[in-house]
Structure 1
Amino acid sequence: MKKFDKDRLILGLAGPALALVVAFLLSSVVLLLSDLSPVEPYRLMVEQIEFTDVQVLVINQTGIYYLAALAVAIGFRMNLFNIGVDGQYRLAVMLAAVVGAAVELPGPLHILLIVVVAMAVGAFWAGIAGVLKTTRGVSEVVSTIMLNAIATSLIAWMILPANLGVRPEGSNDLTTGEIAESGWFPGLALDGGTIYGFTFVAFALGIVYWFVLGRTRFGFDLRATGASESAAQASGVDAKKMVLTAMLISGAMAGLAGMPMLLGQTHTYSLSFPVGVGFTAIGIALLGRNNPIGILFASLLFAFLDKTAEGIGLEGYPKELALIMQGLIVIAVVVSYELVRQYGLRRQQQKVGEELAAQARKNKEVAAA
């Protein structure tokens, strides 16, 4: 039994490790083809992590990616491909910012209201795809892609000054108005900046994710339905209800992805708010294998690439290298996981064959005696 666990651990780590090695090698090839040093950019990236301001930026970005990747992972564990996390996150943070700027409440209640609104909006937007899948059989991939586009257009309309937006005096930017200080989430002040307070909430939610999916009946039903919907139904699980529930929870988690920055830094939603977080989270969830610890390290890696890209740009290297590496990691992780899976199957078959052969020899010896 111990040996089996060891083999499973090695195979589990082999996929991400192989993907990272391949991604770094291919990125080096791209640099060589561009007549640039294949090693120097990585050295510059590592050197930047020594600065406390870069460390703070990386940690804060890790929290944002972590929440978005958990949202994607919840869908993956249910065998659902929620591509709509980006739309859910942006729509949720915008409406939460609108509500937060419109009211003034005692600190904890103000923050709680903003967070609840974000979760409710994210869950509602993801729930549309869940209802379409359970009632009409519409693929969540198609519906969430369409909902992303709708969310983008809806945000562009709502943020107009004639609707819910505000144009600051002397600026061409559009915002939702500033949230009162009672709605700011306190952070951890360091020499290099302030770590968002909600970042620690994000990491705590990783523990909740692990416990609920791995240690509760609900988590077992969710994973069982994702593995085999027909088998889950045969055991008394309402598969359609689980699909809808998983989409709602995934959307609610996506809604939280904008909270670290909204409550800890900007205190408003504007046209400069980060986009594409949900799409990056797909690669992070894949690299982390839907495991909360794996997702944490993958989020840290992607955040590191993002926040050190500006530094290599100042040294004459293309800052787009970070995006190239992230894209290559996503491609490599899919291929490497399949290779590792096939090797694992062959290894299991070999072990079973060896055990059967050993049992046959033992039976033969007993019979001869």
Structure 2
Amino acid sequence: MGHLRAKLLPPLLAIVFSMLLCGVALVISDANPFSAFAAMVTQVGKGTTLVDILNSTGIYYIAALAVAIGFQMNLFNIGVEGQYRVAAVVAAVFGGSFALPTGIHTLAIIIVAAIAGAAWAAIPAILKVTRGVNEVISTIMMNGLAIGLSAYLIRRDVFGELRGNDIRTPEIHESGWLPGISFGSGGTLFGFSFIAILLGLGYWIMMNRTRFGFELRASGESATAASAGGVNAKKMILVSMLLSGAIAGLISMPEMLGRDHTFSLNFTAGIGFSGIAIALLGRNHPGGIAFGALLWAFLDKSGLALDNVGVPREIVTIMQGSIVLSVVVAYEVVRRVELAAEQRRVGRELGTVGGAA
């Protein structure tokens, strides 16, 4: 019970604190916080908002899983943003270049995206294990390179084509699409959302039911102790970064295979950075990450209603930022409270034993 409380209490405290902080900000700006929060909740039942939230949840979930794999190894893979962007343009170019049989075409695009993401992550991974380059610095630099590379690849004289006022890759043939579930005017749920669920299940099995997962967690907790136990630390760094990059490469798949069927410079950005915040909120647990992804998607999509009640949408950004900051503080506070309670319990037991003696 205490273990469960230590897991659930910090994110709940963080959410409550962020709501209070945003409420104060709204009051200072002469807005009614109750009206703002009510508008966000009621927005869920309007139009395609609910389906949009679920679609975004799947995308954020994949991004957070990619980050969480690195976190388990004490690696801060900030390069998820660049890895999924490079994977998106490579997969779009591959998928739009020819048509394959239905199903095979889709699977080939997914595999290419994963390989491209892993290949982009391999560069900072190799730099770390061979030269000791900090992955935070190298992955940040790789993000900048990814933006430039993706812009170059979709130039008209490379792989891009002009459609209206937008330069993009050739459209993927219908045989490469991944159909979703249509709810009519309520929108269409991406088919890749179900693959995201399978990825979460696979992540849980890998971390809790396999030797690799045990070695990964052991290396993250103490590289020295793991090495003494026969675990190759450099190999674990390389494999975990490659796996993180491969999952990152799949972030663009829900939108690309389910809606856009192409890549342009207007493709959704910032998902990789959101994945970092969601992984922190969910403490790298697949269930916690799912909750964090759902919350993040709700704030993103329901925030559209704030304009209708005269509240700036930036309040959503404030809430998301305060959640990230306060969740770190909340986990430390709960940890110290739990530690103090455990010390008191041990003290009472020792006192009882001493009295009986």
Deviation at 1:25, TM superposition (A): 0.6
Provide the secondary structure at the position in 2 that maps to 1:130.
helix
Counterpart for residue 16 of structure 2: 21
Contact 2:35 2:309 in 1 (8 A): no
Does the alignment pair 1:150 with 2:148? no
Aligned position for 2:324: 330
Matches within 5 A, 1:1-369: 6-51=1-46, 53-168=48-163, 171-191=164-184, 192-362=186-356, 364=357
- Give the whole-Å Cα distance in 2 for the aligned partners of 1:105 and 1:204: 25
CA positional deviation for 1:315: 2.9
| Greater CA drift, 134-143 or 342-351 | 342-351
Cα RMSD over matched residues? 1.0
Q: CA deviation at 1:326?
A: 0.7
Shift of 1:322: 1.4
Cα deviation per residue 1:254-305 (whole Å; 9 max; x = unaligned)? 0011100000000001121110000011111111111101110110010011
SS of 2:195's equivalent in the other structure is: helix
Q: Could you tell me how far apart the structure 1 residues matched to 2:339 and 2:154 are?
A: 53
Structure 1: distance between partners of 2:353 and 2:88: 61
For residues 161 and 127 of structure 1, the distance between their equivalents in structure 2, rounded to whole angstroms, comes to 29
C-alpha displacement of 1:40:
0.9
The aligned length equals 356
5+ residue gaps in structure 2? none
| Separation (CA, whole Å) in 1 of partners of 2:111 and 2:39 | 41
Q: Secondary structure at the match of 1:174?
A: strand
Q: Residues 55-104 of structure 1, C-alpha deviation per residue, up to 9 Å, x if partnerless?
A: 11000000000000000111111111111111111111111001000011
Cα 1:52–1:355 shift into 2, 3 Å = farther
What secondary structure does 1:290 align onto?
coil
Deviation of 1:195 after TM superposition, in Å, equals 0.3
CA distance in 2: counterparts of 1:153 and 1:350, whole angstroms: 57
Does the residue aligned with 1:167 lie in a helix, a strand or coil?
A: strand
Shift of 1:14: 1.3
Q: How far did 1:52 drift? A: 5.5
Cα deviation, residue 319, structure 1:
1.4
1:194-252: CA deviation from partner (whole Å, max 9, x where unpaired): 10000110011111110110111110000000000000000011111001100000000
- Is the partner of 1:256 in helix, strand or coil? coil
Post-superposition offset of 1:361? 2.4
Offset of 1:174 from its aligned partner?
A: 1.2
Distance 2:342 2:130 in 1: 40
CA distance in 1: counterparts of 2:265 and 2:308, whole angstroms: 26
SS at match of 1:112: helix
Report if the CA contact (8 A) 2:79-2:142 is conserved.
Answer: yes
Partner of 2:161: helix, strand, or coil?
coil
